[in-house]
Chains A and B, each alone.
Chain A
């Protein structure tokens, strides 16, 4: 059984169908990359998996470790081990990063029937992960993402991922807008999380990320479907040739 099984997934937003039958299996230990032009449905797929209510699933099923993911609330999916690094992490004034993250970790521990972690044990854990992402310790006492630059927000997402230790991590355009140094740091953080128990899905536009986090599989989305799958070499091919070939391929598929 794959960790994540997506079968014929259709979803729409504002009556417009965006996902038109996605089929995908993801196993523990694998790194997948979802690529494709703007509007192809990549981010929608990530949001649907994270159980965003704005998107309505009209058909299909998704099993996460054998359980019906589509029946879960967002917080249940999170507690079951699904994590999404957001494309646009929100800012929340007044709540410190460390307070928030500990509350989240404890909510997940409670769900799993574990004892809550206290601040004394939590702070060293957080500091260790922040160091990995080269974030200044001062960020832990600052309000969630408030006043952070784009790069800092993205690194903070990976810090959260490292602390929450999910079994399935989806990175939604984590590389957009990053300069080369920040990209290297983020990649280093993600690579440190690669493990046989964990699957990672990277939604990205740009091949450069894949120079640093080499995926096992690359899938190309277009028009709400996966139109091509392959290994890491597919990304290089896309970089060379662009997405121009997709339209004819889609037409051929019809």
Chain B
């Protein structure tokens, strides 16, 4: 087998999460207008303030649509999305009078999650991870809610939070990502269906990892989840999210918003393993993953850390960012993004230094294989008063094969002379020379590739919680399997 063969095989792996679950759906008509938004809000039995916020967001979005303000600057190309041809709400039908306990969840759905390797059964579940399972537009189950509640931790679906903790939602919703932030954020604010909500009370360190598992199942729908995590003074939380979708020939839209708020001395670690359906090897189908994620280090000495492993989606447009307002606050971004076959990823981060002695670290590892296009886009901004700010940016690209592309767009803006900036960038290629070198020393081509890829991603993987790190490593080898040889 030649090196080229292995490279190709690595790129030709099947997506293993592409099954469809047969459940009865409660879905609303196609299209988007104020009535649809009222319908979504009604289905979710939301208080008035929520509906009004949605409508304001929608009206703003309409002005953006009229102004043709959909972002075009990213290094990705995909056909114009017909926003009127999407079903904005689809949920598995509830049994009459369901109380949404685990026993009540449709066995088909439980089966689907267990096929994905996610057990919603608390007893069988590994201790130490609480899961919120979001299926299409709704959260179907949240585990360990009671146990967490004993610590004062609120971990529930966003819909429940709106009903049960309206004061918290009102206080923080849209404070990090206002609906006017960008085109997709406005759309999300208008139509978001569900997501997770976390509130960490003062001084509490979360006893387990919190996680949300997003699953798109229904056809023709979009998923628009919204997650809000608030870490009150001195608290600490580690949150993980995972996502998959069935393999379909049509593209589906996923436009999520994540807001994080860290108050004084609080820490939030947010990890993502994104494995939406990437489309087939000819680039047909796949999820458009257009996501706005941002954290605000509002308090002094707070820390927000983003770690992402992006292997799925046909289009990725995503820049988990940190606004470092509190003095001595820390923002981190660790990313592995893979574009295989015809996938396109334009991803990176923004670090906005506002407070004094704020620090940020960016480690981005882009892997391009097949015809994949991978772009790192990162902004570091040091504002006038951010005395003593420091940034370290490392941005590495790995090319597998010679049909793919890697692009790097760093933006650096410094308005305070005491800033310390470090920037490193590299591009390297897994090629026949490298693989032959390994083989000449007695290692097989497969071993060579797996060693090279894992070595390349090591810095990011070690930021992931242990269980996720193993999963990410496996996922990457599967996503790349057959692309090297």
Chains A and B touch (C-beta atoms under 8 A apart) = yes
Interface residues of A (CB under 8 A from B): 50, 52-54, 73-75, 77-79, 83-84, 86, 88-95, 100-101, 103-105, 107-108, 111, 143, 160, 164
Point out the residue from B426, B452, B458 that lies within 8 Å of A92, measured CB to CB.
B452
B433 / chain A contacts, CB cutoff of 8 Å: 88, 90
Known A-B contacts A53-B3, A90-B434, A103-B447; A95 and B440 likewise in contact (beta carbons under 8 Å): no
Docked complex Cα distance between A90 and B428 (Å) = 11
* Residue of B442, B454, B457, B458 with most chain A CB atoms under a 10 A cut-off: B442
Tell me whether B327 is interfacial, beta carbon within 8 Å: no
Docked complex Cα distance between A105 and B442 (Å) = 8
8 more A-B residue pairs beyond the given contacts A78-B439, A92-B437, A107-B442, with a C-beta to C-beta distance below 8 A = A50-B436, A53-B3, A75-B444, A90-B434, A92-B452, A93-B455, A94-B457, A107-B443
B444 / chain A contacts, CB cutoff of 8 Å: 75, 107
Point out the residue from A74, A103, A104, A107 that lies within 8 Å of B436, measured CB to CB.
A74
Question: Cβ of B436 and Cβ of A95 under 8 Å apart?
Answer: no
Question: Cβ of A93 and Cβ of B456 under 8 Å apart?
Answer: yes
Interface residues on B, range: 20 to 34
Question: Cβ of B458 and Cβ of A94 under 8 Å apart?
Answer: yes
* Residue of B426, B434, B437 with most chain A CB atoms under a 10 A cut-off: B437
Tell me whether B332 is interfacial, beta carbon within 8 Å: no
> Distance in Å from the Cβ of A127 to the closest Cβ of chain B?
19
Question: For residue B445, which residue of chain A has the nearest CB?
Answer: A75
- 14 A-B residue contacts at CB 8 Å? A74-B440, A75-B443, A78-B440, A84-B440, A86-B437, A90-B434, A91-B428, A93-B455, A94-B456, A94-B457, A100-B451, A104-B438, A107-B447, A164-B441
Tell me whether B209 is interfacial, beta carbon within 8 Å: no
Q: From DSSP, what is the main secondary structure of chain B's interface residues?
A: helix
> Distance in Å from the Cβ of A71 to the closest Cβ of chain B?
15
> Distance in Å from the Cβ of A15 to the closest Cβ of chain B?
17
Which B residues between 419 and 440 are near A, CB-CB below 8 angstroms?
426, 428, 432-434, 436-440
Question: For residue A106, which residue of chain B has the nearest CB?
Answer: B442
Known A-B contacts A74-B436, A100-B451; A108 and B442 likewise in contact (beta carbons under 8 Å): yes
Question: For residue B431, which residue of chain A has the nearest CB?
Answer: A90
- Cβ-closest 8 pairs across A and B: A94-B455, A104-B441, A74-B439, A95-B455, A78-B442, A107-B442, A108-B442, A75-B439
Interface residues of B (CB under 8 A from A): 2-3, 396, 426, 428, 432-434, 436-444, 447, 451-452, 454-458
> Distance in Å from the Cβ of A147 to the closest Cβ of chain B?
11
Question: For residue B433, which residue of chain A has the nearest CB?
Answer: A90
Point out the residue from B443, B454, B456 that lies within 8 Å of A104, measured CB to CB.
B443
Docked complex Cα distance between A100 and B439 (Å) = 12
Question: For residue B428, which residue of chain A has the nearest CB?
Answer: A93
Question: For residue A73, which residue of chain B has the nearest CB?
Answer: B439
* Residue of A74, A83, A108 with most chain B CB atoms under a 10 A cut-off: A74
Docked complex Cα distance between A104 and B441 (Å) = 6
Question: For residue B452, which residue of chain A has the nearest CB?
Answer: A92
Docked complex Cα distance between A84 and B436 (Å) = 11
B3 / chain A contacts, CB cutoff of 8 Å: 53
Docked complex Cα distance between A143 and B454 (Å) = 13
Docked complex Cα distance between A84 and B437 (Å) = 9
> Distance in Å from the Cβ of B1 to the closest Cβ of chain A?
8
Docked complex Cα distance between A164 and B441 (Å) = 8
Docked complex Cα distance between A86 and B433 (Å) = 10
Known A-B contacts A94-B456, A111-B442; A89 and B437 likewise in contact (beta carbons under 8 Å): yes
Docked complex Cα distance between A74 and B6 (Å) = 14
* Residue of B432, B455, B456 with most chain A CB atoms under a 10 A cut-off: B455
> Distance in Å from the Cβ of A115 to the closest Cβ of chain B?
16
Docked complex Cα distance between A100 and B436 (Å) = 14
Question: For residue A77, which residue of chain B has the nearest CB?
Answer: B440
Known A-B contacts A54-B432, A74-B436; A104 and B458 likewise in contact (beta carbons under 8 Å): no
> Distance in Å from the Cβ of B448 to the closest Cβ of chain A?
9
> Distance in Å from the Cβ of A231 to the closest Cβ of chain B?
30
Question: Cβ of B440 and Cβ of A50 under 8 Å apart?
Answer: yes
Docked complex Cα distance between A50 and B438 (Å) = 12
Question: Cβ of B437 and Cβ of A79 under 8 Å apart?
Answer: no
> Distance in Å from the Cβ of B328 to the closest Cβ of chain A?
32
* Residue of A50, A91, A94 with most chain B CB atoms under a 10 A cut-off: A94
Docked complex Cα distance between A91 and B443 (Å) = 16
Docked complex Cα distance between A111 and B444 (Å) = 12
